[in-house]
Chains A and B, each alone.
Chain A
Amino acid sequence: MSDLELDDIQGLVARGYGRLRAARFFALTFGDPAAARSWLAQVSGEVTPASSDPHDSAVHLALSAPGLEALGLPGETLAGFSLEFREGMTTEHRQRVLGDFGRDDPGGWRWGGPDNAVAHALLMLYAPDESALLSLVGRHQERLDTAGIAGAATLGTQDIGDVEPFGFRDGISQPVLDGFGRDGREADTLEPGEFVLGYENEYGLLTDSPTVAEASDPRKLLPRGQKDGTRDLGRNGTYLVVRQLEQDVAGFWKYLDSLATSREERDRLAAKMVGRWPGGAPLVLSPGQDDPALEKANDFAYHESDPHGMACPVASHIRRSNPRDSLDPDPGTDDSVEVNKRHRILRRGRSYGPRMTVEQALAGPDGLERGLHFVCLAGNIARQFEFIQHTWANNPKFAGLYDEVDPITGPRDESGATFSMPDTPVRRRITGIPAFVTVRGGGYFFLPGIRALRYLAAVSEGGGGAG
Chain B
Amino acid sequence: MARTHQAAITMLIPVRDGAGERLEQALTNLGADPVAGPVPFGRIDGLHFARMVVIPPTPGLDSPPQLAFLLDCDSPARSRLRRIVALGGDALDPVLECCEGYPEVGKRSQSARYRYLRDHTRSTAAVYVNTIGRTVDQIHREEMLREELECFLDSRSWVGQAPSSVQAALREFAAGRSDLHWALSPAPKPGVFWRLRNKLHLAAGVVAGLVALPFVVLGAIPFAIQLRRLEKSDPAPRVIPDDEHVRALAAIEDLTLQNQFTAYGQLKPGRFRRYLSIVLLIGINFGARHRFNQADLAGVKTIHAARWLFLDDKRRVVFCSNYDGSLENYMDDFIDKVAWGLNAVFSNGREYPRTSWLIKGGAKDELAFKSYIRAHQVPSPVWYSAYPRLTAVNIENNARIRAGLSAQFDEAEAARWLRRF
Which residues in A have some Cβ–Cβ distance to B below 8 Å?
Answer: 79, 83, 86, 91-93, 96-97, 203, 205, 207-208, 308, 328-329, 338-339, 342, 382-383, 386-387, 390-391, 395-397, 400, 402, 422, 424-427, 429, 431
* Complex Cα gap A426–B162 (Å): 10
- Residues of chain A within 8 A (CB-CB) of B254 are 93, 96-97, 390
- B166: which of A83, A396, A425 is its contact (CB, 8 Å)? A425
In residues 391-405 of chain B, which contact A (Cβ within 8 Å)?
Answer: 391, 393-394, 397
Q: Is the CB of A397 within 8 A of B161?
A: no
Residues of A within 8 A of B255 (CB): 96
Q: A397-B393, A426-B166 are in contact. Are A339 and B336 (CB under 8 A)?
A: yes
Q: Give the distance in Å from the alpha carbon of A11 to the alpha carbon of B155 in the complex.
A: 54
Q: CB-nearest residue of chain A relative to B365?
A: A205
A88 to chain B, nearest CB (A): 13
- CA gap between A391 and B337 in the complex, in Å: 16
What is the interface residue range for chain B against chain A? 35 or more
The answer to whether B391 and A397 have CB atoms under 8 Å apart is yes
Contacts of A391 in B (CB 8 A): 325-326, 328-329
Is B253's beta carbon under 8 Å from chain A? yes
Please state if A205 and B166 are interface contacts (CB–CB under 8 Å).
Answer: no
Task: Spot the interface stretch: B131-139, B181-189, B376-384, B413-421.
Answer: B413-421
Top 10 nearest A-B pairs (CB, nearest first) are A93-B250, A96-B254, A425-B163, A391-B329, A397-B391, A329-B299, A426-B418, A203-B366, A425-B166, A339-B336
Contact check, B301 vs A328: say whether CB atoms are below 8 A apart: yes
- A residues in contact with B301, CB < 8 Å: 328
With both chains docked as a complex, state the minimum distance between the C-beta of A259 and any C-beta of chain B, in angstroms: 13
Give chain B nearest CB distance to A46 CB in angstroms: 34
Find chain B residues with CB under 8 A from A203 CB. 335, 364-366
Q: What's the least CB distance linking B247 to chain A, in Å?
A: 8
- Is B21 close to A, CB under 8 A? no
Residues on B with beta carbons closer than 8 Å to the beta carbon of A205: 365-367
By a CB distance below 8 angstroms, the chain B residues around A93 are: 247, 250-251, 253-254
Nearest-CB residue, chain A, relative to B393: A400
A-B contacts counted at CB < 8 A amount to 93
CB-defined contacts of B328 to chain A, threshold 8 Å: 382-383, 386-387, 390-391
Q: Residues of B at under 8 Å CB distance from A? A: 146, 150, 153-154, 158, 161-163, 166, 243, 246-247, 250-251, 253-255, 257, 299, 301, 324-326, 328-329, 332, 335-337, 364-367, 391, 393-394, 397, 414-415, 418-419, 421
Give the shortest distance, in Å, between A48 (CB) and chain B (any CB): 30
- 18 A-B pairs whose Cβ atoms sit less than 8 Å apart in the complex: A79-B243, A93-B250, A93-B251, A97-B326, A203-B366, A308-B419, A328-B299, A329-B299, A338-B336, A342-B332, A342-B336, A390-B326, A424-B415, A425-B162, A425-B166, A425-B418, A426-B163, A429-B153
Question: CA separation between A99 and B243, bound complex, in Å?
Answer: 23
Contacts A92-B251, A97-B254, A308-B419 given; does A387 touch B366 at CB 8 Å = no
Beyond contacts A203-B364, A208-B367, A427-B419: 4 other A-B pairs, Cβ-Cβ < 8 A, are A203-B366, A207-B367, A390-B325, A390-B326
Partner pick for B324 among A328, A342, A397, A426, CB 8 A cutoff: A397
CA distance A91 to B251 in the complex (A): 10
B143 and chain A: residue at smallest CB distance: A402
Please give the distance in Å from B82's CB to the nearest CB on chain A. 34
Is B332's CB under 8 angstroms from A400's CB? no
Are the CB atoms of A400 and B394 closer together than 8 Å?
Answer: yes
Q: Chain A's nearest CB lies how many Å from the CB of B11? A: 30
Residues in B with CB closer than 8 Å to A92 are 251
Q: How far is the CA of A83 from the CA of B327 in the complex (A)?
A: 15
User: In whole Å, how far is B244's beta carbon from the nearest beta carbon of chain A?
Assistant: 11
Chain B residues closer than 8 Å to A86, beta-carbon distance: 243
Closest to A79 in B: B243
Chain B residue numbers with a CB within 8 Å of A426 are 153, 158, 163, 166, 418, 421
- The complex places the Cα of A157 from the Cα of B324 at a distance, in Å, of 39
Please state if A402 and B394 are interface contacts (CB–CB under 8 Å).
Answer: yes
Q: How far apart are the CA atoms of A97 and B250 in the complex, in Å?
A: 10
List B contacts of A400 (CB < 8 A): 393-394, 397
In the assembled complex, the Cα of A390 lies from the Cα of B98 at a distance in Å of 38
Chain B residues lying within 8 Å of A429, measured Cβ to Cβ, are: 150, 153-154
Chain A residues with CB below 8 A from B365, complex form: 203, 205
Residue of A nearest to B254 (CB): A96
Q: Given that A328-B299, A387-B328, A400-B397 are known contacts, is A427 also in contact with B421, CB under 8 Å in the complex?
A: yes
Q: CB-nearest residue of chain B relative to A422?
A: B419
| Residues of chain A within 8 A of B251, CB atoms compared | 92-93
CB-defined contacts of B364 to chain A, threshold 8 Å = 203
Task: Check if A395 sits within 8 Å of B325, measured CB to CB.
Answer: yes
Separation of A69 and B78 alpha carbons in the complex (Å):
56
Given the complex, which residues of A lie within 8 Å of B299, measured CB to CB? Answer: 328-329
Shortest distance between the CB of B300 and any CB in chain A (Å): 8
State the CA gap A342–B334 with chains docked (Å).
14
Q: Smallest CB-CB separation from B251: which chain A residue? A: A93
Please give me the residue from chain A that is nearest to B366 by CB atom: A203
Q: How many angstroms between the C-alpha atoms of A93 and B328 in the bound complex?
A: 13
